[in-house]
Amino acid sequence: MNIPVYVSTLRQLLSQPVRIGALIGATILPLLQLVVDPDPHVATTMFATCIAVIASAGIIGLEITTGSVALFFTRPLTRAKYLASRWSAAATISLAMMLIGLTGEVAILMARHVEVSPIAIALALADRFFVVTGTVSMMVCFSTFASSLGDLLIWGSIQTVALSLGAVPMGSFHDASRLLQRIAAPMLDLDRVLVSSRLPWSEVSGYAGTITLAAAIAIFVMNRKELSYASE
Amino acid sequence: MIVIDHLTKRYGRTLALRGVDLTVGRGEAIGIIGPNGAGKTTLMAALLGLIDPSEGTVLIDGCSPHSLTTKRRTGYVPERIGFSRWMSGRQLVTLHARICEVRDRHAVESMLDRVGLDRAAWDRPLRKYSRGMLQRTALAQALIGSPDVLFLDEPTSGIDPAGAIRFREIVHELKAGGVTIVVNSHQLDQMERICDRVAFLRAGRIEAIECVRGEERLEDIFLKLEGAVA
Taking the CA of residue A218 and the nearest CA in chain B, the distance in Å comes to 17
Instruction: Give the mutation candidate from B83, B95, B127 for the A interface (greatest A CB count, under 10 A).
Output: B95
B226: pLDDT strictly greater than 80: no
Cβ contact A75–B100 (<8 Å): yes
Query: Is the separation of the CB atoms in B114 and B65 below 8 Å?
Result: no
Higher pLDDT, A102 or B217: A102
- CB nearest to A70's CB, from B16, B50, B95: B50
Cα–Cα distance for residue pair A134/A45, rounded to 1 Å: 12
Give B-chain residues touching A4 at CB under 8 angstroms: 95, 98-99
CA gap B39, B9 in Å, rounded: 9
Task: In whole angstroms, give the CA distance from residue B109 to residue B146.
Answer: 14
- Sequence-ordered alpha helix ranges (H) in B85-187: 89-99, 107-114, 131-143, 161-176
Reported as a single tens digit per residue, the pLDDT across B133-142 is: 888 899 999 9
Q: Taking CA atoms, what residue in A is nearest to B66?
A: A74
Spell out a b/e string for A51-88, using b for 16 or more CB atoms within 10 Å of the CB, else e: bbbbbbbbbbbbbbbbbbbbbbbbbbbbbebbbbbbbb
Which of A11, A16, A226 lies closest to B50 in CB terms?
A226
Q: Amino acid letter at B14?
A: T
Mean pLDDT of B7-15: 89
CB-based contact A78 B68, cutoff 8 Å? yes
Instruction: Name the least confident of A49-58, A195-204, B30-39, B154-163.
Output: A195-204
Distance between B92 CA and the closest CA of chain A, angstroms: 9
Can you tell me the mean pLDDT for B165-185? 89
For residue B108, pLDDT beyond 70: yes
Helix (H) or strand (E) holding A37: none
Q: Distance (Å) from the C-alpha of residue A13 to the closest C-alpha of chain B?
A: 10
Residues 6+ apart with CB under 8 A from B166: B115, B116
**The pLDDT of residue A181 is above 90:** no
Q: How confident is the model at residue A231 (pLDDT cuts 50, 70, 90)?
A: very low
Provide the pLDDT confidence category of residue B82 given band limits of 50, 70 and 90. Answer: low
- Asked whether the predicted pLDDT for residue A131 surpasses 70, the reply is yes
User: Which residues in chain B are closer than 8 Å to A63, comparing Cβ atoms?
Assistant: 84
- Cα–Cα distance list, A137 to A9, A134, A186, A188, B87 (Å): 16, 5, 9, 14, 26
Name the strand (E) or helix (H) holding B29: strand B29-33
Asked if B76's CB is within 8 angstroms of A71's CB, the reply is yes
Chain B residues contacting A via beta carbons under 8 Å: 11, 16, 39, 41-42, 45, 48-52, 68, 71-72, 74-76, 78-80, 82-87, 91, 95-96, 98-101, 141, 145, 151
Q: How far apart, in Å, do the first and last CA atoms of chain A sit?
A: 28
Please give the average per-residue pLDDT across B181-195, as a whole number: 86
The end-to-end CA distance of chain B, in Å, is 33
- Interval A15-66: pLDDT, tens: 899 999 999 999 998 888 888 877 777 777 778 899 999 999 999 988 888 8
User: Which pLDDT band, with edges at 50, 70 and 90, does B48 fall under?
Assistant: very high
The confidence score (pLDDT) of residue B214 equals 63
- Is the whole-model pTM more than 0.80? yes
Out of A228-232, B54-58, B183-187, the most confident range is: B54-58
CA distance A161 to B179: 56
- Collect all residues from A whose CB is shorter than 8 A from any CB in B: 2-5, 8, 11-12, 15-16, 63, 66-78, 226-231
Cβ atoms of A203 and A188 within 8 Å: the answer is yes
pLDDT of residue A54: 95
State the average pLDDT over residues A186-196: 75
* Residue A230: predicted pLDDT: 43
CA A47 to chain centre: 10
Distance, in Å, from the CA atom of B29 to the CA atom of B178, rounded to the nearest integer, reads 10
Nearest chain A CA: its distance from B225 CA (Å): 24
**Rounded Cα–Cα distance for residues A157 and A150 (Å):** 11
d(CA A51, CA A102): 12
Residues of chain B positioned with their CB less than 8 A from the CB of A77: 68, 71, 99
Cβ–Cβ gap B91/A229 under 8 Å: no
- Cα distances from A29 to residues A13, A19, A22, A24, A155, in angstroms, run 21, 15, 10, 8, 21
Mutate to test the interface with B, among A5, A231, A232 (most CBs of B within 10 A): A231
pLDDT at position A80: 93
Distance (Å, whole) CA A10 – CA B44: 31
CB A227 within 8 A of CB A70: yes
User: Residue A87's pLDDT band (boundaries 50, 70, 90)?
Assistant: very high
B216 vs chain A: nearest CA distance in angstroms?
Answer: 32
Position with higher pLDDT, A189 vs A165: A165
| Rounded mean pLDDT, A157-177 | 86
Which tens digits make up the pLDDT trace of B201-214?
988 899 888 787 66
Assembly ipTM: 0.86
